[in-house]
Structure 1
Amino acid sequence: MNRLPTCCAPLLHHWPLPRPVPGAILVSCPFDPALLASDDFSRAGIEQTASLQRSVAKRQAEYLAGRVCARAALMQLDGRDYVPGTDEDRAPIWPAGISGSITHGKGWAAAVVARNSDCQGLGLDQESLLSDERAERLAREILTEAEMQRMNPSQVGLSVTLTFSLKESLFKALYPIVRQRFYFEHAEVLEWSADGHARLRLLTDLSAQWHHGRELEGQFCLQDDQLLSLVSV
């Protein structure tokens, strides 16, 4: 029987975001790389690849925590015991008929899953809130010119962090569908509000369905200095 790794706190089956997504399950888990034990992979029943064996404790702990959350979410969704592997493009390999996304940040990991009949794509991303000073330095790498002009100068840290996170979530949601990479300049956040609602627009053609001008909804929440965003298709 699979057990919780020593580096992971008990799993949370919850929905911290402002609006539920019908059919979607989210599981999260605090973790501490300092508590990683040598037998944590075998304890959890999760394969430790050669590259993971060579990686630092932080990478091993965040991988473990993310996969533990993903397996628990799939178990809750349809009762299957399945740990997503990693594809050549580093994306998680989900079972047929399932959409999912995994994220991990500072001491916290989460996974969200749904049947394809409910969600064609899911993108989940967690980021630590940038300071205003760091956000100002990074803004032009992340924001389009239109986004720069719309940015509230009193919320630079939040605006840049949120734009980065939403675009990461958008990529995670659409990449499994279009199988085409795109970057920060290929999408824009049109608007967002304090209640956790956001709207995005594609600025490039990815497929006949996902074309320049196509708009999508996103959502987000703040937990202390951590921001979580989700784009669901």
Structure 2
Amino acid sequence: MMFSCDTPLFSCRIAPLGGVRPLPSRYSATGVPKRQLEFLTGRALAEQCLTAQGASETYVARGDNRAPIWPDGFCGSISHSDQLCAAIAGRAENVPGIGVDLAEEKSVEAALSDVVCHPDDDPQLTLTELFCAKEAFYKLWHPVTDVFLEFRDVVLRIDDGHITAEVMKAHRPSDKLSGTTGRIWRVAGHHLSAFSAGPHAIEALNTLGHMLKIEQGA
């Protein structure tokens, strides 16, 4: 395990692909061996997070769109790169929504700039940071709204380390998304971004950032 953090609001795990043993046997993983390893490592970390949060059921099903289906009363998110996997989960009554994404530094090619970037995106964020943070936001957004977004449907701005997301596409507002905020950090050659919603969102992300700094000796 590379990183483990348990708080009253959420639990987070980060590990190398295949770095969790034993891998859960109750899931049906498909695809090439590497794809199976990504899927099973993510589920193993997600189950650890749910257990730490007191869930009696830790099975994370897979929806028709391949997105995780979390046990009743809980929300969470899973992400992986070619090297690492991350999972985060919490009780929905404390954190009504949360999304996480990992991206290797400078892994997004400049040719994708027109796909990822909106003209009003904050220039303080690099292309890969924008990609990573928008992915994290979408993982928070979609389970709540069931509304599909393109990268350019979201404008990101950063102030004092906190990222705000403005959705440019017409949508029906949701109280569950009130207080949405995001952060982004560097972890082992990667960008790690997380978005959370609700009255405890800032506290949750500040705590995660603090624990990451401690883990990395910063």
TM-score of the superposed pair, with normalisation by structure 1: 0.74
**RMSD between aligned residues:** 2.6
- Asked whether 1:151 is paired with 2:123, we answer yes
**CA displacement, residues 2-28 of structure 1 (integer Å, 9 cap, x when unaligned):** xxxxxxxx474227xxxx8x6111122
Gaps of at least 5 residues in structure 1 are 1-9, 153-157
Distance in structure 2 (CA, Å) of the matches to 1:197 and 1:190: 8
CA drift at 1:137: 2.0
1:4 match: none
- Structure with more helix by fraction: 1
Determine if the alignment matches structure 1 residue 44 to structure 2 residue 24.
yes
* Bigger Rg, structure 1 or 2: 1
Q: Report the AA paired with residue 15 of structure 2.
A: C
Letter in 1 for 2:100: L
Question: Does the Cα contact within 8 Å between 1:222 and 1:228 map onto a contact in 2?
Answer: yes
Q: Is the 8 A contact 1:191 1:200 kept in 2?
A: no
TM-aligned CA deviation for residue 184 of structure 1:
0.8
Distance 2:93 2:57 in 1: 20
1:227 maps to which residue?
Answer: 191
Q: Which stretch has the larger CA shift, 100-109 or 201-210?
A: 201-210
Query: Which one-letter code corresponds to 2:174 in the other structure?
Result: Q
Asked if 2 retains the 8 angstrom alpha-carbon contact of 1:143 and 1:160, the reply is yes
1:221 shift after superposition: 0.8
Supply the distance in 2 between the matched residues of 1:163 and 1:222 (Cα, whole angstroms): 13
Check the 8 A contact 2:184/2:193 in 1, yes or no: yes
SS at 1:46 equivalent: coil
Counterpart amino acid of 2:169?
T
1:92 maps to 68
Query: What is the deviation of 1:124?
Result: 0.4
Partner of 1:216: 180
Tell whether the 8 Å contact from 1:199 to 1:215 is kept in structure 2 after alignment.
Answer: no
C-alpha offsets along residues 31-74 of structure 1, whole Å, 9 cap, x if unaligned?
A: 25xx99xxx88x6333225xx1xx11110111111000001100
Query: In structure 2, do the counterparts of structure 1 residues 127 and 72 end up closer, same or farther at CA, with 3 Å as the change threshold?
Result: same
- Match for residue 72 of structure 1? 48
| Residue number among 122, 125, 139 corresponding to 2:113 in the alignment | 139
Residue matched to 2:202: none
Identity percentage of aligned residues = 23
Matched, 1:122 2:98: yes
| Pairing 1:206–2:171 present | yes
Contact 2:145 2:174 in 1 (8 A): no
Amino acid at match of 1:200: A
**Contact 1:143 1:185 (C-alpha < 8 Å) held by counterparts:** yes
Q: Detail structure 1 runs of 4+ shifted over 6 Å in the superposition.
A: none
| 8 A Cα contact 2:50 2:89, kept in partner | yes
5+ residue gaps in structure 2? 198-218
- 1:31 counterpart residue number: 17
Preserved contact between residue 68 and residue 83 of structure 1 (Cα < 8 Å): no
Length, aligned pairs only: 195
Deviation at 1:86? 0.5
Rounded to whole Å, the distance in 2 between the matches of 1:81 and 1:95 is 7
